[in-house]
């Protein structure tokens, strides 16, 4: 011992002990300082421990038809959510057993959720069944970090109008990046009305901040709900669709490819929008959506394709109602102008065949008999008018007329994914044939609705509605009112005028009346309902011709304008016209009395014959 005596040794040891005690205390204080003052992470941990952000999903707006019949509604389902930051050791065996998933699935999903966010909830399992939900509700406290989130799923009164309604799906990363409203796992309208009216339908999400205890049980709201927001329910949509007509149209189009578009001429409201083949909209709801979607995508009949808005057909003979109206307006013919037809039209090396019909024809009877010769002559006269300095000028004027009917551009109303149709420009022909290297005979096929011309069924119906209105149309649309049946949208109330005098449309209307009375479509005449129509047979280089018919009725007080296209069905008069007449009869009288006529259409199958 290096000490002189015991006393000093004891003092030394007392000091050592005191130093140890003071040293340890200082270490404790330093550690306390680091934990409480320097390191901010524990404060975040504490918040995420006891605060749970609960999103209140508003119910999505309902969808009604024009008569107030409910078409699309919601059903509550439950998503199992996870907050990775709140997870702790749980009985994964029991957990996986309850969900019917494997341990590996469990781990990979947790990893995925963790990658998204440690503190925000992610969907762990979508739309768990009612029995699983009930079982979970009881045991939830044993699985800290998990909770159940009620969500709405779409349900449909009738399995119809699937393209029109569109569907709802999970938001993609791109949307999330552009719109802060959406969080991963949220739903968004992906097509159809669901997409066009997403903002109205979705409502406003609410957020509640709840305090939870260690068992993940809600203790109360955070600061008496000062930071909570209430969910606002989505607005209901009152569509312009007529449910019974839509249903009937889809029934008639069974086993056929094509479309039906019916418009109320006085408003532009779309009564029916059929694209065949179609599918049950319920297929794109719920857990099976991805699988069903893939199956639909691989279907060779392409049921996902909305023909009514996206298929661009050369209009064929029905286009004569447009080109004749233009010729009348340009003054190149009078209604009484007559021409003979020898069943074929020759001009400078080009021949156009015609059908066998009485000759000569005037403006009205040429449409009644669908005379190609007359159509070709008046088209050439329109283009070759001497007061135009060149063909670009005269063609452009003709083209402007056609465009004014809505061809070549989208309506831009509430139709989603519509295509503009095709109508070539003068520049296009200059490029193909060289500047001024083309003549009226070069583009003669336009006069009979063939050539560089593509019209969608909705555009075709709109052309018909414009004629029914004798020179103007209202933009075709699907939703009349939002929120309340009386809360009409006024953005579609403005008429689009066609620079052709009403008297010429009277001529066309009379011609169309004769078509159905004793012309090409007399077979489809409806007793007691005066109808105006025009048949078309669209040449199809890939197979059987397409059967086309447009019509409006009654002639003097048009309630409905319709276009029908049945692919690979042959003559317009044989299939499209009868089908359109059934639709008109159904809409105007509420029933169909020509049962054998109806049965013939129902029995027709153009898919098995032309796969």
Partner 1 sequence: MKRQFNIFHNVDKPVLLLYLLLVLIGWFNIYAADYLEGQAGFLNMSASHGRQFIWILISLATAAALLMIHTKFFSGFAWVIYGIALLMLGAVLLFGVEINATRAWFRIGGFAIQPSEFAKYATALALAAFVSNVRAKRTKPVHLFKALLVLVVPAIMVLLQNDVGTTLVFSAFSLALYREGYISGLWLFMAGLAIVLFILALLFNEFIIIGVLAGITILLIFFLRNKAGVAMRLIGLFVLLSVYVYSVDYAFEHLLEAHHKSRIEVLLHGAGDTQGVGYNLHQSKIAIGSGGLWGKGFLQGTQTQFNFIPEQTTDFIFCTVGEEWGFVGSSILIIIYLSLLLRLIALAERQKSAFSRVFGYAISSVLFFHFAINIGMTMGLVPVIGIPLPLISYGGSSLWAMTLMLFTFLKLDAERLEMT
Cα 310 to Cα 419: distance, rounded to the nearest angstrom = 5
Residues whose CB is less than 8 angstroms from the CB of residue 405 and which lie 6 or more positions away in sequence, other chains included:
322, 459, 462, 463, 466, 473, 498
Nearest alpha-carbon partner for 168 in 279, 283, 56: 283
- Count of residues that interact with partner 1, criterion CB under 8 A: 39
How far apart CA 10 and CA 8 sit, in angstroms, is: 5
CA distance 504 to 107: 73
Least distance (Å) from partner 1 to the CB of residue 214?
5
Name the residue nearer to partner 1 (CB basis): 17 or 94.
17
Residue 86: CB minimum distance to partner 1, A: 10
Shortest distance, position 19 Cβ to partner 1, whole Å = 11
Q: How many CB atoms lie within 10 A of CB 459?
A: 28
Residue 109's contacts (CB-CB under 8 Å, 6 or more residues apart) are 82, 124, 125
Pick one of 8, 16, 340, 343: the residue that binds partner 1 (CB under 8 A).
Answer: 16
* Residue 6 or 387 with smaller CB distance to partner 1: 6
- Identify the helix (H) or strand (E) that includes residue 170: strand 168-170
Cα(238)–Cα(596) distance, integer angstroms: 35
Question: Whose Cβ is closer to partner 1: residue 16's or residue 295's?
Answer: 16
Binding marks (x or -) toward partner 1, 22..61, rule CB under 8 A?
x-xx-xxx-xxx-xxx-x-xxx-xxx-xx-----------
Minimum distance, C-beta of residue 131 to partner 1, in the bound complex (Å):
28
Give least dist CB 26 to partner 1, A: 9
> Could you give the CA distance from residue 72 to residue 201 in angstroms, rounded to a whole number?
11
Q: For partner 1, what does the binding mask look like between residues 184 and 203, x meaning CB under 8 A? A: --------------------
Q: Nearest approach, Cβ of 40 to partner 1 (angstroms)? A: 8
**Considering the complex, what minimum distance in angstroms separates the CB of residue 306 from partner 1?**
53
Q: Are 604 and 537 a contacting pair, CB within 8 Å?
A: no
Closest approach of partner 1 to the CB of residue 122, in Å: 21
> Could you say whether residue 17 binds partner 1 (CB under 8 A)?
yes
Q: Which is nearer to partner 1, 32 or 301 (CB)?
A: 32
The residue among 211 and 231 lying less far from partner 1, judged by its C-beta, is 211
Task: Report the alpha-carbon distance of residue 553 to residue 265 in Å, rounded.
Answer: 10
Q: Looking at 20-28, 57-65, 558-566, 593-601, which segment touches partner 1 (CB under 8 A)?
A: 20-28
Considering only the stretches 9-17, 73-81, 160-168, 584-592, report the one whose residues sit in contact with partner 1 under the rule CB under 8 A: 9-17
Least spacing, CB of residue 18 vs partner 1, in Å: 6
Q: Is the dihedral of CA 453, 459, 461, 466 positive or negative?
A: negative
Interacting residues with partner 1 between 75 and 94 (CB under 8 A): 88-89
Kindly write out the interface string for residues 361-380 of this chain, putting x where it contacts partner 1 by CB under 8 A and - elsewhere.
--------------------
Pick between residue 222 and residue 606 the one whose CB is nearest to partner 1: 222
The closest of 311, 304, 192 to 258, measured between CA atoms, is 311
CA distance 604 to 575: 9
CB of 220 to partner 1, least distance (A): 8
Minimum CB separation of residue 230 from partner 1 in Å reads: 25
Read out DSSP for 188-247?
EE-SHHHHHTHHHHH-B-EEEEEEE-TTS-EEEEGGGGTT-B--BPPPPEEES--HHHHH
CB closer to partner 1, 27 vs 111: 27
Where does this chain touch partner 1 (CB under 8 A) — which range of 210-218, 239-247, 317-325, 474-482? Answer: 210-218
Q: Are 188 and 171 in contact (CB under 8 A)?
A: yes
Note whether 428 binds partner 1 by CB under 8 A: no
- Provide the mask over 429-448, with x wherever binding to partner 1 is found by CB under 8 A and - wherever it is not: --------------------
Nearer to partner 1, 211 or 233 (CB): 211
Query: Minimal distance in Å, beta carbon 268 to partner 1?
Result: 59
Determine the Cα–Cα distance for residues 119 and 47; give it in Å rounded to an integer.
10
Q: Which is nearer to partner 1, 52 or 369 (CB)?
A: 52
Helices and strands of the chain, counted as H and E runs: 21, 22
Can you read off the two tokens belonging to residue 268? Answer: 């532009």
The site string for partner 1 over 219-238 (x = CB under 8 A, - otherwise) reads x-------------------
Distance CA 609, CA 568 (A): 9
d(CA 139, CA 136) in angstroms, rounded, equals: 5
Which positions touch partner 1 (CB under 8 A)?
Answer: 6, 9-10, 13-14, 16-18, 20-22, 24-25, 27-29, 31-33, 35-37, 39, 41-43, 45-47, 49-50, 88-89, 211-215, 219
């Amino acid at each position: 011992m290096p000490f002189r005596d015991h006393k000093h040794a004891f003092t030394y040891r007392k000091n050592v002990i005191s130093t140890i005690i003071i040293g340890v205390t200082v270490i404790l204080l330093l550690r306390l300082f680091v934990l409480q003052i320097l390191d901010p992470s524990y404060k975040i941990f504490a918040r995420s421990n006891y605060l749970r952000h609960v999103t209140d999903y508003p119910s999505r707006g309902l969808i009604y038809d024009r008569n107030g019949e409910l078409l699309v509604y919601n059903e509550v389902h439950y998503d199992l959510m996870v907050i990775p930051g709140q997870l702790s050791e749980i009985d994964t065996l029991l957990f996986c057993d309850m969900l019917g998933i494997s341990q590996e699935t469990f781990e990979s999903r947790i990893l995925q959720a963790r990658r998204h966010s440690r503190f925000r909830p992610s969907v762990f399992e979508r739309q768990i069944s009612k029995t699983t939900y009930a079982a979970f509700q009881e045991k939830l406290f044993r699985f800290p970090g998990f909770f159940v989130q009620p969500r709405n799923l779409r349900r449909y009164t009738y399995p119809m109008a699937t393209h029109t309604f569109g569907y709802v799906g999970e938001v993609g990363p791109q949307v999330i990046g552009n719109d802060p409203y959406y969080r991963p796992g949220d739903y968004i309208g992906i097509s159809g009305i669901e997409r066009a009216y997403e903002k109205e339908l979705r409502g406003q999400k609410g957020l509640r901040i709840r305090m939870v205890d260690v068992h993940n049980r809600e203790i109360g709201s955070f600061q008496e709900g000062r930071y909570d927001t209430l969910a606002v329910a989505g607005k209901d949509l009152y569509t312009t669709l007529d449910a019974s007509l839509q249903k009937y149209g889809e029934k008639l189009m069974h086993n056929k490819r094509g479309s039906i578009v019916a418009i109320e001429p006085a408003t532009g409201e779309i009564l029916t929008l059929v694209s065949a083949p179609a599918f049950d909209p319920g297929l794109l709801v719920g857990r099976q959506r991805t699988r069903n979607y893939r199956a639909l995508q691989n279907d060779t009949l392409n049921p996902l394709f909305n023909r009514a808005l996206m298929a661009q057909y050369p209009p064929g003979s029905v286009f004569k109602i447009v080109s004749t109206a233009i010729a009348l307006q340009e003054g190149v013919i009078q209604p009484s102008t007559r021409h003979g037809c020898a069943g074929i039209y020759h001009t400078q090396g080009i021949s156009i065949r015609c059908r066998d019909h009485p000759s000569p024809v005037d403006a009205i009877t040429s449409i009644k008999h669908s005379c190609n010769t007359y159509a070709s002559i008046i088209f050439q006269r329109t283009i070759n008018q001497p007061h135009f300095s060149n063909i670009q000028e005269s063609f452009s004027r003709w083209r402007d007329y056609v465009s004014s009917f809505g061809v070549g551009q989208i309506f831009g109303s509430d139709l989603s994914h519509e295509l503009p149709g095709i109508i070539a420009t003068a520049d296009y022909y200059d490029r193909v044939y060289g500047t001024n290297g083309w003549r009226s005979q070069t583009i003669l096929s336009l006069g009979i609705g063939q050539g560089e011309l593509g019209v969608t069924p909705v555009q075709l119906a709109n052309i018909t509605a414009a004629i029914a209105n004798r020179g103007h149309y209202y933009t075709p649309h699907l939703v009349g009112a939002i929120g309340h049946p009386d809360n009409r949208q006024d953005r579609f109330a403005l008429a689009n005028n066609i620079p052709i005098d009403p008297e010429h449309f009277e001529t066309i209307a009379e011609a169309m009346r004769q078509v159905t009375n004793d012309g090409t479509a007399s077979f489809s005449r409806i007793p007691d309902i005066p109808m105006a129509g025009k048949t078309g047979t669209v040449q199809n280089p890939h197979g059987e011709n397409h059967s086309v018919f447009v019509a409006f009725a009654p002639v003097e007080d048009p309630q409905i304008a319709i276009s029908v296209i049945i692919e690979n069905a042959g003559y317009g008069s044989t299939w499209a016209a009868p089908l359109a007449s059934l639709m008109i009869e159904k809409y105007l009288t509420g029933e169909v009395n020509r049962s054998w006529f109806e049965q013939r259409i129902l029995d027709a199958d153009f898919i098995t014959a032309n796969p």
